[in-house]
Amino acid sequence: MNAKISGIASYVPEDILDNEMLSKMVDTNDEWITTRVGIKERHILREEGKGSSFLGIKAVEKLLEETGTKPEDVELLICATSNPDYRFPSTASVIAHECGMEQAYAYDIQAACAGFIVSMQSARAYIEAGIYRKIVVVAAEKMSSMTDYTDRATCPLFGDAAGAVLVEPTDENVGVIDGEFHVDGSGLHNLIMIAGGSVKPASHETVDAHEHFVYQEGRIVYKNAVRDMLSSTLSVMKKNNLTNDTIDWLVPHQANLRIIDAISDRIKIDPEKVLINIQKYGNTSAASIPLCLDEFKNRLHKGDKIMLTAFGAGFTWGAMYLIWAFDPKN
């Protein structure tokens, strides 16, 4: 028995923050941002009192509608997020409640930008073990809540979004076939929110020092992301006798266009097979892969061989091989 993606949906807020607007906030410009990271604009959730759960609810509601799934039939909801509404309770519990999933258990997974594929691996395990038959995996990220708009190095990178998939069992040769995941805690200080946890609780000093925002050592993150996404992708390809010719699509985490290009070049895959939408949304963390899959779903066909790969804080990274389970709707 395999675990297949039987439906997909996504949501981005209406408000757009483009590079020209950003250049009026910090010392940057469109050319600088475009050449370094390949981003032209990002969507921002500006409404007061709304967090990642709002984005996730919108994506899940679309998913349930498009798949004709009743909320009460969903048995488990897994939410991948680095931007929970609260330290507790879980954002998944908020989404499940607001979507009317009265029978479902729900919990969060924190694997930073790799959160979606890590959550898919968990969903796959539940399905293959026969524990659940209808699982919603949602990645919901209000990245603007942890973005320092006075820091020209990081503020152009991030946008807000959510993506959701329905995962169900199948006896066909489709769905999640293989996955490989790694973590290296020595990367801790290179990509981190320094304050707000139990090590350094919030205080006037931490707020004044801008320690409640994303901090990253860009060059170190770039080098590790390229190396690790590449190695995990090649490893999964080798184990499953895949080549750059037999893969139909490569969907990398949309963090930086130069990272995507470097990985694609080294795999020697046809650029037409690499799905990219970072220019429109920026880095939406765990939401980036389902957001990209949803945007291009009309190009995906049943039987397509797809490689997913992601890298995030921790460092944590991995790759997943799945075979697409449905054709585009007319």
Residue 153: count of CB within 10 angstroms of its CB: 15
Catalytic residue among 19, 43, 99, 253: 253
Catalytic residue among 99, 113, 155, 292: 113
Per the annotation, the verdict on 283 as an active-site residue is yes
Q: What's the count of helices (H) and strands (E) in the chain, helices before strands?
A: 10, 13
Per the annotation, the verdict on 99 as an active-site residue is no
Distance CA 218, CA 226 (A): 12
Residues 6+ apart with CB under 8 A from 36: 256, 258
β 2-11/41-43 pair status: unpaired
Distance CA 232, CA 239 (A): 11
Per the annotation, the verdict on 29 as an active-site residue is no
Residues 6+ apart with CB under 8 A from 268: 244
**HSE-up of 170 (CA within 13 Å, CB side)?**
18
Catalytic residue among 19, 83, 190, 283: 283
- Residues assigned a catalytic role: 113, 253, 283
